[in-house]
Chain A
Amino acid sequence: MPEQFLWAMEVMLNGLMAGVLYALVALGFVLIFKASGVFNYAQGVMALFAAMTLVGLQKGQVPFAHLINTIFGTDVHKFGWELAPWLAILLTAGVMVLFAWLVQRFILQHLVNQPDIILFMATIGLAYFMEGFADLMWGADIKTLDIGLPQGVNAWIDETTFNLFGYGFFIDNLDIAATIVAALLVVALVLFSQYTKQGRAMRAVADDHQAALSVGISLRFIWVMVWSVAGFVALVAGIMWGAKSGVQFSLSLIALKALPVLMLGGFTSIPGAIVGGLIIGVGEKLFEFLVGPYIGGATENWFAYVLALIFLVFRPQGLFGEKIIERV
């Protein structure tokens, strides 16, 4: 087999892995959008915040240490304990639920029935607030996240492919773990929304707020629940990304890539988010591999957006979205 083709294969596989992570963040968007009609720009910052909180809790950091030390002239940094990863994850999930409640209480409740675009801009404000808050709480330095996920090149794949093609594929163990976790999460979410009472209520709200209210579904509860679930999805995405490239500000920007993913997949479709994520993941890696060298590289910065833009011009509702019929 020609070498070029094998390289492209490897690039594609890596793209698929990255795509799974995009899909994961995009899933958080879809959940919130379906249930509350909010296009949550802050989803990326939520992932960052969750990852920072996880690291902080796990390492026993004192929250707001910098601020406290500045005001009171103290010198506190750590509580001096280290939490087990599962406990830290559980606590962080709790924090995300609290966060969901606060968002519902202080933002969503006041913006019911506002135009979508106002809600969207409010979540940009939320993203800014959280970014400052997260940095204030845990410090802005780059943190390493380690909850014991497997790292490094998968030796088995390397060997097998080498024996088959004479060229060993480099696939990161972490990516494989992320793919498995993401797949499990997606299955769990689908089961949840299809087969539980809360899931049904959630879909009812997504369909029609008024009608859902009239049959006795509590909007507030559903919103808190949905934002909690989205917070949990953000936590998982934050863990995967944080473990891969450190917990830092850029994490919230990588998450921005979920936006073109959604534009491809349609804002209301869970399968759309997954397929869109994979297309973007593979597309941008392949484009960078094939075309990038000729035009200066770093095309990953914009490829996803431009692809989504071109795609949308021809199919405004996305791959899986419903056709928009305009009425007067």
Chain B
Amino acid sequence: MTDMNAESYVTEDGRTIGGVIMEMKNITLRFGGVTAIQDISFDIREGEIRAIIGPNGAGKSSMLNVISGFYVPQEGEVWFRGRRRAKMRPYQVARQGIARTFQNIALFEGMSVLDNVMTGRLTRMKTGLAAQALWFGRAEREEIEHREKVEKIIDFLEIQAIRKTPVGRLPYGLKKRVELARALAAEPALLLLDEPMAGMNVEEKEDMSRFILDVNDEFGTTICLIEHDMGVVMDLSDRVVVMDYGRKIGDGTPDEVRNNQAVIDAYLGVAHD
């Protein structure tokens, strides 16, 4: 049995899980009169795969949007790498090293796969307007440098053949993979995946699971993912947060969560009074 309260520990399959990288403290988010998230706290540790699960409308996506800075919670604190997040625009959050994918694929439809993945590097490309206008020299060198990094990710996700294809023409499963590639291209410290397996068939789900595990394993990327398919999540993740009606009803290893009475009730549908 591993001690999960230690500063760092090694999992059964030999990955090292470090200290807390992100901590959500007493987050409450409201839309007008509707409370989407009520007083939720949890943390994400370096190198782990953390899942947030829950039935439809539980507030999972809202939570992910809070982490990625798209929604600003009315109450609570977001701590990332030991620092409290001040009021921040989403692009500033991205520059801190948080990348994400979207539930309803948000690729840039007018661009090729390669260009889409290259947009993942935008936070790291620094040449100014003037240097770019002249191209030869700094701009071209930078472009090639980043292209090499991007090509590695393209190889890794096995999408070499569709490099130059406009994204609009791709089937759903491949689009999801390109979106993952774009997020990976940013070399994020924390990768957020919003229902990475939604709408996929079994085979595609298996592929996607393998990529998620590989990403975590090879790059050591910390991953936080949302799913409402329990089965997949339990196999993938190190720790799981369970949400229902905007509240946290469970938090722990997959086994702990599976045996949690509140979680069973939420999924099997015990009457709320």
B interface SS class: loop
**Chain A residue contacts of B102, Cβ below 8 A:** 328
Q: A325 to B62, alpha carbons, bound, how many Å?
A: 13
Q: Give, as a whole number of angstroms, the nearest-CB distance from A210 to chain B.
A: 16
Interface range on chain A: under 10, 10 to 19, 20 to 34, or 35 or more? Answer: under 10
Q: For chain B residues 81-130, which have a beta carbon within 8 Å of chain A?
A: 102-104, 106
**Chain B residue contacts of A325, Cβ below 8 A:** 31
- B51-84 CB mask vs A (1 if < 8 Å, else 0) is 0000000000000010000100000000000000
Q: Give, as a whole number of angstroms, the nearest-CB distance from B139 to chain A.
A: 30
Total CB contacts across the A-B interface at under 8 A: 7
Q: A328 to B103, alpha carbons, bound, how many Å?
A: 8
- B129-171 CB mask vs A (1 if < 8 Å, else 0) is 0000000000000000000000000000000000000000000
- A144-187 CB mask vs B (1 if < 8 Å, else 0) is 00000000000000000000000000000000000000000000
- B29-66 CB mask vs A (1 if < 8 Å, else 0) is 00100000000000000000000000000000000010
Q: A328 to B104, alpha carbons, bound, how many Å?
A: 8
Q: For chain A residues 109-151, which have a beta carbon within 8 Å of chain B?
A: none
**Chain A residue contacts of B104, Cβ below 8 A:** 328
**Chain A residue contacts of B106, Cβ below 8 A:** 328
- A311-328 CB mask vs B (1 if < 8 Å, else 0) is 000000000000001001
- Identify the 3 closest CB pairs spanning chains A and B, nearest first: A328-B102, A328-B70, A328-B106
Q: A155 to B269, alpha carbons, bound, how many Å?
A: 77
B contacts, CB < 8 Å to A: 31, 65, 70, 102-104, 106
Q: A328 to B105, alpha carbons, bound, how many Å?
A: 9
Closest chain B residue to A323, Cβ basis = B32
Q: Give, as a whole number of angstroms, the nearest-CB distance from A317 to chain B.
A: 15
Q: Give, as a whole number of angstroms, the nearest-CB distance from A327 to chain B.
A: 9
Q: Give, as a whole number of angstroms, the nearest-CB distance from B221 to chain A.
A: 21
Closest chain A residue to B103, Cβ basis = A328
**Chain B residue contacts of A328, Cβ below 8 A:** 65, 70, 102-104, 106
Q: Give, as a whole number of angstroms, the nearest-CB distance from B226 to chain A.
A: 13
Q: A325 to B65, alpha carbons, bound, how many Å?
A: 14
Q: A328 to B102, alpha carbons, bound, how many Å?
A: 7
Q: Give, as a whole number of angstroms, the nearest-CB distance from A322 to chain B.
A: 12
Q: A325 to B71, alpha carbons, bound, how many Å?
A: 11
Q: A325 to B36, alpha carbons, bound, how many Å?
A: 15
**Chain A residue contacts of B70, Cβ below 8 A:** 328
Closest chain A residue to B90, Cβ basis = A328
Q: A328 to B64, alpha carbons, bound, how many Å?
A: 11
Q: A25 to B226, alpha carbons, bound, how many Å?
A: 49
- A292-328 CB mask vs B (1 if < 8 Å, else 0) is 0000000000000000000000000000000001001
Q: Give, as a whole number of angstroms, the nearest-CB distance from B87 to chain A.
A: 17
A-B contact pairs, 7 of them (CB 8 A): A325-B31, A328-B65, A328-B70, A328-B102, A328-B103, A328-B104, A328-B106
Closest chain A residue to B64, Cβ basis = A328
Closest chain B residue to A328, Cβ basis = B102
Q: A82 to B70, alpha carbons, bound, how many Å?
A: 66
Q: Give, as a whole number of angstroms, the nearest-CB distance from A258 to chain B.
A: 32
Q: A151 to B31, alpha carbons, bound, how many Å?
A: 55
Closest chain B residue to A325, Cβ basis = B31
Closest chain A residue to B100, Cβ basis = A328
Q: A306 to B161, alpha carbons, bound, how many Å?
A: 51
Q: A17 to B80, alpha carbons, bound, how many Å?
A: 60
Q: A162 to B115, alpha carbons, bound, how many Å?
A: 73
Q: Give, as a whole number of angstroms, the nearest-CB distance from A142 to chain B.
A: 45
Q: Give, as a whole number of angstroms, the nearest-CB distance from A113 to chain B.
A: 13
Closest chain B residue to A326, Cβ basis = B70
Q: A328 to B106, alpha carbons, bound, how many Å?
A: 8
Q: Give, as a whole number of angstroms, the nearest-CB distance from B11 to chain A.
A: 32
**Chain A residue contacts of B65, Cβ below 8 A:** 328
Q: Give, as a whole number of angstroms, the nearest-CB distance from B18 to chain A.
A: 29
